[in-house]
Structures are given as structure tokens and as C-alpha cells.
Structure 1
Amino acid sequence: MTGITSERRAPLAERLGIRLRDVGAGADPAVLLGLALRRNPRRAQLLVSRVLGKHVPTDPRLVRAAGLLLGGLVADTLAGTPLRPLPVAGLHAAVRGDREAAAQLHAEAEQAIGREPGALVLGFAETATALAHCVAEGLGGAACLHSTRRPVPGYAVAGGFTEEHSHATHHLLLPADTALLHSGAPLVLVDDELSTGRTALNTITALHRTAPREHYVVAALVDVRPAGNELVDGVAALGARLDVVALARAAIELPADLADRAAALRAELGDALPPPPVPPPHGREPRLPTVALADLGWPAGVPAGARHGFTPHDHRRLADALPRLGAGLARAAGLVPGERTLVLGTEELMHLPLRLAQTLADAGHHVAFSSTTRSPAVVVAAQGYALTSGITFPAHDDPADGPGPRFAYNVGGGDGPAWDHVLVVVDPPADTAALRSGLLPALAQHTRRTSLVVTP
């Protein structure tokens, strides 16, 4: 999926007629967000976060700091105190590539971690799984759960909801202990972008039927809801209270003919998805260096993510183990100081790759973090456009909704490899032959070396 050059034309935002206005007192949304064009008839625009670590390889300290800062706003809301001022200048500098600013921002965000763990944090798969973890960490280690699109044998579905604008709409809740949802504690719903509030309202409505509570908080990196209180009023109609916090607030103006403009642009730029990589001959899949985190002293009983729940005790044990795990990973994978290293998470598996990347960055390695995604989007090698390169490959984790293409954006570009070393992090169900014939060969032209990291 190489970028289609479009330098001779007006920027896509202008051609689509989309306008983004800052309407809040926090960070500048134009700094935190870029714009791309979806391949999705439900919604034309894709607001690409520069602090999420999903579509854009990002300093992992910036990604975690943004989540911790958002968690701080949630902590203030739960405590009923005024919202703390955000370190906007440092945040903006880190987004613009200042690695020292990212390190400082992360250190300050860690020092400001709250002590409000008495809440349940729920993240939306796939984009907000790591963000929800970080918000929970920012509360002092609150219990955390994220939705999933992967049914897991042995885990009963405790709830579900739809994300109407998403490419993959159905979400499941699979907590190992359903008491997690029935505690009555405040529920904090975390997403990268709050666009209409409809997904949040759908989720709250579904959960409130079986596990009602008095207080909900919605936390997002950027709030671009239109004027009006449909979300707040909808929750009030259930007999509950809702607060909304965000790092930035914006108004997005969309022309009435946006769908037609988007269709014309997709046709002009080439609407067909590029083919996946040609699989190597049978039996010739690459034999890559593989690091099993279980061999590096992984804390027994701690899950690799919050698909089935993540407790305050899990937060503490993972935090204690991370320095040892990071040092062991650097040795086992042969990381070289000064090399450009990308830690690549896979779909919902974002938080652990993020924390490993952040730990490596804290140790002095030049690391970026991003993740693969299900979301198809247009790639254009144009200045100011958010997705300038990308790769496509088949799903490699036997998803319940069937096979389909998956993507990784902004991992390439230029004449030579963009990375000296890529660490691809997967859980065991995704460590398959399809991984070795799909994602790994697709990455090969963009990196000098690749290592596979497998969670417990």
C-alpha cells in the first residue's frame, strides 16, 4: 500500500470541505489530530490522533503521558475538584517530535498520578485499549476492562454494543469475573475520539439495564461532539449522572455533500485496496527471532491485557516487572543503542506493547510505537495528509467475523527501510502461519530486522 502522490492538488481537508475549530481551553486539536479519508461508507473522515500510537508511530512516552493526563482529569472529576491545568506547551512540543519534551512530559504525568482507584475503566476496542489502561493507571491503578471483537472459549458474554460508524461494529464484553461490572462503582468509558457520543450512549444504556450505577464519566483525547447535550440528556433519562472530560475540544464542520466529495476522491485516488503480500512458498515462511515474555520473568497470573479484566493488583505487579522485562527484551531481541526501533502492537493488543516500548525508551533506546488496525483508509503521499504510507495483509488470529484485510499505516516511506528493527508483539492466538505469510513479509521491505514478541 504505497502512498499515492497528490502534491499538485489542494489539501484533502480543503477538497472535502472539512473544518476543525478549537472551542476549548485545553490542547489545540489541530496539533493532536490529522485528517485522512476512510474507505467506509458510514463515515468519510478519519481523524487521526498523533498521541494515540495507532495509525502514527509515536514516541511511547508521549502516548502514555496523554493517557495519564486524561486519567488525571477523570480523577479530578471523580473527586469533585476543579480540573487541573494541562501542560499544553510540553504536550504540543512532544507531538511535534521533541523527544526530550516527551520524556519530561511523561515524567511529570507519572508524578501526578492520582489516588482514585475506586472506579471501573472501560476501553473501546480496538483503538482505545491502551488508552483505557493508561487512564486506569492515571487513577492510581483502577480496575480496567476493554471490549473485544474476538470471542474466547470459556468466557461468557456479559454484554455487548455496537459502534455504528466503525468498520467492524460489534463489541463484546468478556470479563473473567462478572462482578467487575456489578460493583456499582463509577464507570469511566474511554475512547480516543468522542464524535457524536452515540457509541458511549449505546454502551451506557446497554450496561445500565443489567448493572445500573449513579455516575458515569466519558473520557476522550478529543471531544468533537456537535452542540447540544444528547449524550448527557440520554444518560440523565436513565436516572444517572454523566461527566465528560477531554484533552482538547473542537467543532468539526462537515459539508452537506461530504459523502459525494469523498466518493469522488476515493475514485480519483484509487479506491481498490492493494493486494496483500505474496505468501512465501509453503514451508519457506521466515524463521524470525522470537522472544517469549514468559521466559523473561513475566509475573505469574497477570494477564497480558484487559480483555477479561485487569485489577489494581495486576497494575502493581506489571509495573514492578516492567524494568526487568524491558531489559530482558532488549537483550533477547538484540536491540542496538541508536537504532530506529518500532514496537508494533496488533489490533486490540496495544497496552503491553506500549508499556514495553515506553520502558525501552526510558532506558535510552530510540523507540516509536504504533499498532495494526482493521480500519481501511486512503493512503496519499501528500504534505499535511495523515496517512502517507501503509501495508495491507490478511488477518492472522482466526477472527470470529471471518477473514479480511488488516493494515499498518505510516510504517514505510522514503527510498530505504524506515526502521532498523521492528518488534511485532502478538498474543498466542495471533502467532500463526498466516502471520508469517502476511504481516511479517509485508513489513520486510520497511525494516532491516524483525523480531517477534509473544505474550504469555
Structure 2
Amino acid sequence: MYREEDLVKIARRENNNKRKYLVVNKLQGKHVPVKPSDAFKMFEELADSLKQEYTKERLLLIGFTETATAIGAAVAISVGGKYMQTTREMIPDVGYLFFSEVHSHATEQKLVKDDIEGTIQDIDRIIFIEDEVTTGNTILNIINILEKLYPGSLHFSIASLLNGMDEEALERYRQRDIHIHYLVKTNHESYTQIAENYENNGAYKKPNLQSAEGSYEEMTVSGWLDARRMIDSACYKDACADLWKAIEKELEISASTLVIGTEEFMYPALYVASCIEEKGSCVKCHSTTRSPIEVCKEEGYPLHCRYELKSLYDKERKTFIYDLAKYDNVLIITDSQSEEKTGIDTLVNGLKLAGNKKIQLVRWRK
């Protein structure tokens, strides 16, 4: 059983007047480095809240980009069924369902429409997986679109680690018979004030764009399954297990290891990190993110040092990683199919600034 203080830290969004605070969950492996077993324990507790209720239904679980992609995949694998995630990336030669996440700095979300239309007749219920639900409006946006396209054919549920919906929002969901599951109920009334009490006095670093070639080892592993497309959750776990087997052959187990995922690509990094942890290494895992968050020196604030990077997916896009430290070994795992080196150069140079010398890059490709 989790409590609000176990999961919730409040941070300040940068230049976002729609919502000035950001809820940082210190166990989900996004912004804050986490022990992978702690993340998976939390994910499994959320999955347990779903297992008994939907045993006779054919399920599609949808994880929300960026922060809930690992949660969504882990819950889908535990519960069973189809899985896909929302995305902000461009996928060639597909149609999309577009909807908005209005409080985010990057508001556009989309689902691959082609995949939904190809399997909708085999789905009884869609369960949306989030790290937190505050108003429920974003999920209602996509539910409204789906009900218009596929009237009368679907039931809906949401499952989140945190739920901050007020009574009016909860009633809207009850009236539409949308089931709600969560681990911790939160009250957001004080979050803006908490965020504003912190000073913007943390460390801001901008690693250089110089080539990092020679500073890291690189390997390519085939068998990539793209969770932005609809996949069978069991097949996804098997693919991640094969990814780990390939990495294990080349990996020297060290006393301390950091595993880094990239943006929307979180679950495979956490999965591999958990396998390394089982080997006896002291492992932490987190990922790069599009989210620009202010950092603060105060001990109670969740993030203290920010590195501004170029994206591994698009060199024109800023991304960030927080609170890097020194480890015996760093393993970066990405599904970026781009040959562009600028993103990896900035990430490796950032890791070197934090004192890391042994850095390995794994590219998961088709």
C-alpha cells in the first residue's frame, strides 16, 4: 500500500502558465533515477487492481507518452492483452487519431488509427494507463473520439498511479460508466504554492556538441518491437527478454550501473535494468525527456541538476536528463532508428561531465 508521500514530489515546470507545478513520481523511472525493482513493484500493484475485474474481457491497454509508457507496458504484460502507447513521434505511412494534453508543454498526442481499426472488432474494453490523472479531461478527449468512430462497441477504464480528480470530475466518469483504478488519491490544491516556494537555483548544464566518438561503445540488436504500434503484450515481453540476452553477452557486470532510456522508450530500459539488478549490480534507471523542469538546490526538491541535450530522434528538438551521477558502467538503450549522432554526442558528453568513463550504447532495431 502506497501513500502520497511515498510517491509524490512537487517540481516547477519551466515557462508553463497552464500548470506551474509538475508531480514527480520518484519511483517510476522517468526523471528521478530509480532502483528498477522498486519501479516494477509499484507497477505490479497497479496491475493487481485490474486483474480480477476484467478476466472475461478482451483488453487493449494504452500507455500515455512520455511518462506512462513503462507503466503501461508493465501493466499490460501483467494483466494480458493488446498494448500500444500514444506518441508524439511521426510514424511513416499511417493514419492517426489526434487529441490534446492541454497542460503539457507539448500538447499534441496521437494514436495510430490504422492499428485500432484493424483490431477493434476483437476488443471489449480499452484501459488507459497513466502515471497521474488530474482532471481526466485528456482521457475524455480520446474516449469521445473513439466513441464517435466506434459507437456502442467499447467499454473504457483508466488506471493510474496517482488520481487527483475532484468530485465533479469523478462524477462525469461515473455517469459514463468509465471505471477508475489508482494507487493513491491526491489533492492538488496546494501543489502550485509548493512549487512557487522553491527557488530556481539548481545547476544547469549544456553539454557540448563535439563528437563523442571513441568515448563509448556501440552495439546494435535486432528484433525491435515498436510499442507505438499495437502489439501483443506477451510478445513485447519476449522481445525485451531477447534484447537482454543479446546485451548480456557483451555486458561486463559492474558494482554500479546506470541504465538510460530515451524519451518515449522507457520499458525496455527498465526491463534490462531489472535483469542487471538480478545479477547483483547496484542499478539505477531513468530516461531522457522532453519536459523542461526547473531545478533547485534544496534537499526536499526532487531535481537538482539539469542537462540540456539534443534528441536522439530529432536533433532540432531539445531534451533533458536530470541528476546524473558517476557509475562504474552506463548503458544507454534507445529505439531511435536515426543515424544522426548529435543526440548521442550530447548525452555522452553530459555523462562525461558527471564523471562517467565506461559508456555503452545499444540501438534496438528491426
What's the CA shift string for 1:158-205, capped at 9, x where partnerless? x12110101111011126633234534111001101111111111211
Alpha-carbon distance in structure 1 between the residues aligned to 2:129 and 2:273: 22
Give the structure 2 partner of residue 161 of structure 1.
99
SS state of the match for residue 231, structure 2? coil
Q: How many residues align?
A: 361
Give the structure 2 partner of residue 197 of structure 1.
136
SS state of the match for residue 300, structure 2? coil
Aligned in 2, Cα 1:284/1:445: closer, same or farther, shift over 3 Å?
A: closer
Map 1:54-453 → 2, pairs under 5 A: 54-79=30-55, 118-139=58-79, 141-157=80-96, 159-174=97-112, 177=115, 178-212=117-151, 213-228=153-168, 230-233=169-172, 236=175, 240-254=176-190, 258=193, 262=196, 269=200, 274=204, 276-280=206-210, 285-286=213-214, 288-294=216-222, 298=223, 303-312=224-233, 314-315=235-236, 317-318=238-239, 322=241, 325-336=243-254, 338=255, 340-398=256-314, 403-412=316-325, 418-446=326-354, 447-453=356-362
Aligned in 2, Cα 1:215/1:432: closer, same or farther, shift over 3 Å?
A: same
SS state of the match for residue 343, structure 2? helix
SS state of the match for residue 438, structure 1? helix
Aligned in 2, Cα 1:176/1:432: closer, same or farther, shift over 3 Å?
A: farther
1:27 positional shift: 1.6
1:407 positional shift: 0.7
Alpha-carbon distance in structure 2 between the residues aligned to 1:393 and 1:365: 28
Identity across matched positions, percent:
25
Amino acid in structure 2 at the alignment position of 1:452: L
Aligned in 2, Cα 1:313/1:191: closer, same or farther, shift over 3 Å?
A: closer
Given that 1:223 and 1:250 are in contact with CA atoms closer than 8 Å, whether structure 2 keeps it comes out as yes
Larger-gyration structure (1/2): 1
TM-score (norm 2): 0.90
Aligned in 2, Cα 1:428/1:55: closer, same or farther, shift over 3 Å?
A: closer
SS state of the match for residue 128, structure 2? strand
Given that 2:225 and 2:236 are in contact with CA atoms closer than 8 Å, whether structure 1 keeps it comes out as no
Alpha-carbon distance in structure 2 between the residues aligned to 1:232 and 1:181: 27
Alpha-carbon distance in structure 2 between the residues aligned to 1:275 and 1:210: 46
- RMSD of aligned alpha carbons: 2.6
Amino acid in structure 1 at the alignment position of 2:334: V
What's the CA shift string for 1:373-424, capped at 9, x where partnerless? 111111112111111222111223128xxx3321111223xxxxx2221111
Aligned in 2, Cα 1:353/1:233: closer, same or farther, shift over 3 Å?
A: same
TM-score (norm 1): 0.73
Alpha-carbon distance in structure 1 between the residues aligned to 2:212 and 2:28: 35
Alpha-carbon distance in structure 2 between the residues aligned to 1:378 and 1:165: 16
Aligned in 2, Cα 1:449/1:137: closer, same or farther, shift over 3 Å?
A: same
Alpha-carbon distance in structure 2 between the residues aligned to 1:117 and 1:441: 48
Given that 2:163 and 2:185 are in contact with CA atoms closer than 8 Å, whether structure 1 keeps it comes out as yes
Amino acid in structure 1 at the alignment position of 2:31: H
Amino acid in structure 1 at the alignment position of 2:87: T
Given that 1:144 and 1:310 are in contact with CA atoms closer than 8 Å, whether structure 2 keeps it comes out as yes
Given that 1:397 and 1:431 are in contact with CA atoms closer than 8 Å, whether structure 2 keeps it comes out as no
Amino acid in structure 2 at the alignment position of 1:243: H
Given that 2:126 and 2:154 are in contact with CA atoms closer than 8 Å, whether structure 1 keeps it comes out as no
Alpha-carbon distance in structure 1 between the residues aligned to 2:237 and 2:193: 47
1:349 positional shift: 0.5
1:234 positional shift: 5.2
Alpha-carbon distance in structure 2 between the residues aligned to 1:313 and 1:384: 39
Alpha-carbon distance in structure 2 between the residues aligned to 1:327 and 1:318: 10
Consecutive unaligned residues of structure 1, counting only runs of 5 or more, are: 1-25, 80-115, 413-417
What's the CA shift string for 1:269-324, capped at 9, x where partnerless? 269x94632221xx664452112222xxx4xxxx43410112145146336xx2x6
Given that 1:117 and 1:136 are in contact with CA atoms closer than 8 Å, whether structure 2 keeps it comes out as no
